Amino acid sequence: MRLPDLSFYLDGGCLVILTVGNTLRSDDGAGPYMASKLHSASNVKIIDGGMHPENSIEQITAWKPSIILIIDAADFGGGAGEVRIIESEAIPENSLSTHAISLKVIAKILNDDIGAKIIFIGIQPKDVSFGEGLSPEVKTASDELVEWMNRQLLTKKERDMNHA
């Protein structure tokens, strides 16, 4: 899994991590699960958009981030727990996930309002039927993603402390 280096964005402005998902639909709860495990840093805001990420638009635009990282369980035809960067052009108008409003529409609104760079990270679910808890594959992928992000955010905190 090749993920973007966030250090450029962390040094130059604000980052919003918007997680999306429904904890009552098994693997669709990957986003909220990750939000509960991510560590914040200066210039980083973590928002659990849950089932209604559109309700976070006003909060995000008020913060004016330079980058928005949107994380969601998304069925892109990969193996269970596979993580992919999904280019915004590849997100269909209809939702990739189990949510009512397409993340593409949300991304367009945010981009039009604040011009932030938007990166989608999709985690291929194994099961989105009603039920709580993540499959082992999606939990492992989510934990690895959280570990990678927390390392990047810790590095940002260390850089801030060294320049203080």
d(CA 25, CA 67): 28
Q: Say whether pLDDT at 119 is over 50.
A: yes
Go through 10-23 and write b for each residue having 16 or more CB atoms within 10 A of its CB, e for each that does not.
Answer: beeebbbbbbbbbb
Task: State whether residue 160 is helix, strand or coil.
Answer: helix
- 109 phi and psi angles, rounded to 5 deg: -60, -45
pLDDT tens track for 43-92: 889 999 999 999 999 999 999 998 899 999 988 899 999 999 887 777 76
Neighbouring CB atoms inside 10 A of 40's CB total: 12
**Mean pLDDT computed over 114-120:** 89
The enclosing H or E element of 71 equals: strand 67-73
**Structural domains for the chain:** 7-163 (3.40.50.1450)
Q: Say whether pLDDT at 164 is over 60.
A: no
- How confident is the model at residue 104, as a pLDDT? 87
d(CA 144, CA 121): 13
Band of pLDDT at residue 96, cut at 50, 70 and 90:
very low
- How confident is the model at residue 99, as a pLDDT? 58
- How confident is the model at residue 48, as a pLDDT? 96
Q: Average per-residue pLDDT in the chain? A: 84
Q: Say whether pLDDT at 2 is over 90.
A: no
